Amino acid sequence: APSPSGPAAASPPAGRSPAPEAAEPSEAAGPEGGRRGDGEAPAEFVALREAVPGVREDIRYAGADNFTGMPVDGYQEPACLLTEDAARALVRAREALAGEGLDLLVYDCYRPRRAVAAFLRWAADLSDTRTREEYYPRVPKTRLFEEGYLAERSGHSRGSTVDLTLVRADSGRPLDMGTPYDFLDPLSAPDSPEVTARQRAARDRLGEVMDAAGFGRARTEWWHFTLREEPFPETYFDFPVALSSLSSPPGALD
């Protein structure tokens, strides 16, 4: 069906069932259950690059180099905002990799609900196929949510989910994972039999190190991990991705 028009049209493609991460969400609420301002992050959120100096980031949705082909609503800056618990877990993962000459490169962190709504609008606009060859050549746009490549209620909005890969610590060059980031295709499943042994080994190492640091992995995307003991398991936030959204003072973790 042709896309609904206008920015408010955030309906999912027809016939789609909820994505695996869909749950009954609560909107952001304060400690007493009242509504928290949508422009403001709770004190538990930090900017990763301030909390963990030297961490590598390439926040794709803040620019046009992503599967939508345009900057995504809600990403006011290319910043990784995360809960402090998730940031501490990433420190553990980096420490485990350091002895192997490897490091992490983070592509996405906290994602506001308005950004997820932008993904829904993009998916509903079947006339926009600009990025199909590069990002979803085999899966029709109408199936991206149903197949689990995109989530109608994303774990990223809870602040303890990250998209990331492994890089060489010296050059910053990403390891070959068999697909680029956000290649929305069965080939991106961590256990895809279609990748080479070397690519599979790189995926497995990323999965192991993230598992040991406390993150669970998605079944559809080798780059997507959620902290198992996440501090906001039921809350989907909508403050913008911007350092000014943070209420906690900047500073490295101790």
User: Could you give the residue numbers annotated as active site?
Assistant: 221
Which of 56, 156, 158, 217 touches ligand LVM2DEV6 by CB under 6 A?
156
Least Å distance, CB 152 to ligand LVM2DEV6, is 8
Which helix (DSSP H) or strand (DSSP E) does residue 97 occupy? helix 84-98
Within 8 A by CB and 6+ apart from 168, the residues are 101, 102, 103, 175
230 binds ligand LVM2DEV6 (CB under 6 A): no
71 binds ligand LVM2DEV6 (CB under 6 A): no
Out of ligand LVM2DEV6, Zn ion, none, which partner does residue 58 contact, by CB within 5 to 8 A per kind?
none
- Kindly state the DSSP code that residue 219 receives in the 8-state scheme: S
The interface with ligand LVM2DEV6 within residues 161-200 (CB under 6 A) comprises 163, 182
Angstrom CA distances, 228 to 89, 141, 166, 218, 237, stand at 10, 30, 20, 12, 18
Out of Zn ion, ligand LVM2DEV6, none, which partner does residue 85 contact, by CB within 5 to 8 A per kind?
none
Q: How far apart are CA 121 and CA 254, in angstroms?
A: 41
97 binds ligand LVM2DEV6 (CB under 6 A): no
Nearest C-alpha neighbor of 55 from the set 94, 108, 96: 94
Angstrom CA distances, 109 to 72, 80, 156, 192, 224, stand at 14, 5, 6, 24, 10
Nearer to Zn ion, 161 or 199 (CB): 161
- Contact indicator for 192, 204 with CB cutoff of 8 Å: no
Amino acid letter, residue 198: R
Site string for Zn ion, 155-184 (x = CB under 5 A): --------x---------------------
The one segment of 26-34, 134-142, 219-227, 242-250 that binds Zn ion by CB under 5 A: 219-227
The interface with ligand LVM2DEV6 within residues 17-46 (CB under 6 A) comprises 21
The one segment of 145-153, 191-199, 205-213, 228-236 that binds ligand LVM2DEV6 by CB under 6 A: 145-153
Q: How far apart are CA 114 and CA 155, in angstroms?
A: 14
Which helix (DSSP H) or strand (DSSP E) does residue 84 occupy? helix 84-98
**Site residues (CB under 5 A) for Zn ion?**
163, 224
**Site residues (CB under 6 A) for ligand LVM2DEV6?**
21, 108, 148, 150-151, 154-156, 163, 182, 221, 224
